[in-house]
Amino acid sequence: MNPQETNGAGKFPVAKVLGIILLLATAGAMAPMAVRLVEFRAGHSITDDAFIEARMVHVGSDGVSGRIIRVETDEGMVGKKGQVLFEIDADHYRDQVALAEAKARVSEDERRRQEIALEKLRVDVPLGVSEANRSLEMARISEAKMEKVLKLTADEVAGTLSESDALVGVAEANQVLARQEHERFTTLLKENATTLRRTQETARTNDSTKAELRLAEAKRQKAAAARSQVEVAAHDLEIARVATAKARLGVDIAENRNRGILEARQALSIAGDAVDEAKALLNLARRNLENTKVLAPVSGIVVRRAKSTGDHATAGVPVITMYDPDGMYVTANLEETRLAGVAPGNPAAVRVDALGRELPARVLWINRSTGAEFSLLPRNVVSGEFSKVVQRVPVRLVFEPGQDLSELRAGYSVRVTIRHGPGDAAWASKALEQSRRLDSRFDEPRGNGAP
């Protein structure tokens, strides 16, 4: 046998054994690390699909449009709440304020006029009703008086006529008797059967009865003429009745003027509504004038400026975009298969690639929907060409307090490692409440930092 072959055959098993021993030693040394790695991956959810985000505030003009005449901020600048960000040409809105002020004055004057008219009616109408009632009462008294006058006049005239008729009858009878007596004595005188004196006496008696008859007839004519007094009294009574009816109508008219008070009240109410409307329009015009100076709603960093001086700003269209750096958070999109063990309140580590370091954080909430539900192109699986894809669920994390986050930027890519556990419901509830307060925080009074 060749000695070299014997030596070679003897060395090969030794090298092989040494290699196996070295491999086993390396495996033994790596085994604890592998076990820890497996335990770590089993007890944590890790994703690189995560980003730093912030609550962006898009600032535009509120209800006003116009040419931008001044811009007070730029991208990267820190703005305070109430600071003027940009200003819109306000000439048109000043004119609107002047017009609204004029309309407010006119409406206020009209309201005062309606108040005066109503107050005048409140005084005049009761007086008018009282005066009309007095006039009606006087007209009724006058009518009653005229009725009595007519009755008395008619009775008096009737009595006078009856008396005059009787007197005429007596006078006629006396005159007939006196004429006959005079004729008889005249005949006797011719026959010298009586004296002249006696004949003269009968003649005088005859003439006297004639005069009495004429007087009685004159009285009867006077009594007949007195009938016109009855007609006059009747006419006066008719006039009194007309006056009474007119006075009664005056009372109705005066009482009807109470409706004028109601109409005046309604007119005053309408004038008051017009004043309120004018004031509202004036407040709107003034608010629009104030809104030509667009102020920062919150304190934060300006990250985008969409327009410059001279551009036209449209109401509601953002011109400046800013965010509050204290409100930054992390959105990690975890695979649906890695959600087991993830709960609100669990601690996490956020590896910021741009900074090269980790920042401690905690899970705030887990979204109830996957990101695919908000895709612009919805999934269509009815065609039968379906491939199962693991969906990702957005998980929000917030940084632990007391850290310097000034170097963070919204949109940074990060690596998130979430430790599995039962979570901390009490912490999550407090953190959600704090997040809501932070979302609507107004830490500086309005106008701070404004020039």
Q: What is the pLDDT along the chain (451 residues), one digit of tens a residue?
A: 444 444 444 445 777 777 777 777 777 767 666 656 555 667 789 999 999 998 888 899 888 999 999 998 888 888 888 899 999 999 999 999 999 999 999 999 999 998 998 888 888 778 877 888 888 888 888 878 888 887 887 777 777 777 777 777 877 787 788 788 777 778 877 777 777 777 777 778 878 887 877 887 777 777 776 667 777 778 887 888 888 888 888 878 777 777 788 888 888 899 999 999 999 999 999 999 999 999 998 888 898 999 999 999 999 899 999 988 878 899 999 998 888 989 999 999 999 988 889 999 999 999 988 766 655 556 655 555 556 778 899 999 999 988 888 888 888 999 999 999 998 999 999 988 888 877 765 444 444 333 3
Q: Give whole-number Cα distances, 99 to 93, 105, 106, 110, 280, in Å.
A: 10, 10, 11, 17, 13
Find the DSSP H helices in 191-226: 196-225
Any idea what the Cα angle at residue 28 is, between residues 22 and 30, rounded to 5°?
A: 105
pTM of the model: 0.58
Decide: helix, strand or coil at residue 436: helix
| Measured distance CA(53)–CA(303) in Å, rounded | 13
**Structure-block tokens of residue 15:** 């090298």
| Measured distance CA(182)–CA(106) in Å, rounded | 106
Provide the 10 A C-beta neighbour count for residue 338. 19
Give all domains of the chain, ordered by start, each with its CATH number: 94-282 (1.10.287)
